[in-house]
Structure 1
């Protein structure tokens, strides 16, 4: 599409918002060059949207990976896939270990705690971890589940155990790069919404092979879920994983995708980029993650010794972009 047409879309989005953004418009902007003037206009519009919605309020969410074990879902981008397990250890945390990590995070300042397990982790056991975490979390720190697929019964039990929401997504090329049918992910999302749990969503894991058309369709699906938090995440080429050879997109490309995601999905609380980096803050990112324990994008089974950063560092990055705690 000609530059003039892209400029017209951007003008419309600036003046009228994006509630009526079409798939064609979204695809056009996702396909624009990251070196043209319209790229900077896009970032400006997305930044303005975040400032209007969030003021200068930043958020740091923390995620603790509860177990590092081979997973039967065999996602081709994950270091814990059963056929290509790439982590340097195998273990499972216990509740006292988790509680100590939470106490350390609270001192640094967090707004939400995510507990992540592999898809095979027993959900009955996961409920015990959530209840224990809720027992020591202040009321103003949300507790978020990041576990395998589930039905409405389990979704309600998550809520009853103290969870405020869940991170659950239909990933890019679900069922192709993973062994999980996309319909199963969609059913889990429906169960979570019916249980009145908040949805935390992400466009991920984005690789060089994903087309603007693919990304646009997924953003429209994300918009239909009305998530409180949205993110865009580039795929990390983890050594030993099947998709590592396909590489990763640049920070500039990710920044463009962040901007479009923020405008199209319009999350009510915050916009995130993953992994944490400064460039996308120019597109209105106001939330970052601190991570410890198992991380599917790391070969260190304790990601705090590898890719993961702590909450203090996350706040420092946000401050550079003009985002601060309440």
Structure 2
């Protein structure tokens, strides 16, 4: 019997979803709960995804914004976004057991910042004001040693005390294209500015943006599964729209806007680096109740990146 449902081709971007840093951070909380028992406190959302946070909360994790909210004698985990140096120092002073789930690629930026300051350079940091990763990175160096820029326009307003002794670093979850434009503006204005030794924007952010670009020409609409406070997820929406494809960010299938989807026949689907694959399947299952689906996954080279867990959890 022929289906009476309208046809819809869903083109799933690849790679998508969890990156190695997110996977590691979640595993750290899970192992801490096994090792110490509930509750385990987590300073800030371990990753920016409500589904993930709610699941860990059910297992016994308690999420707080400040270390002052952690009772004495209980373990605390620092989120994947990184924290200022003052936070672990305060934990040590209180005698708290703490585990640092900072993504190793964010930690790499922290180490670069320290070395540049030791070399006497002022750092121009490309990022988004208020993002936990930016706050954490600024907290690695003395106050006033780093200046934030968010746009190409910000570059024109810079008035560094020593224009010939600058360096730049970037947040790991930025738009590749936006960042390239800002870097070009910095280099044009300050030709001697020192660049990072390697790319600061992480492999997962770059790969997921490239994956959206790769499928954009085949799509009438594109859905990104991710949280509104997830920088890398928001960037995926921007990438799609720059490619001329209307795009929406949703956290769960229940947020689907059917009027927005309209009479689209080719829908792109991806997930930010903090969104688990189960949410991709949830969206597909929801679509299948309204459409006769044809699902196509884009070809890709598997990422294969893994990061070591803290020694105290695997010993």
Indicate the structure (1 or 2) with the bigger Cα radius of gyration. Answer: 2
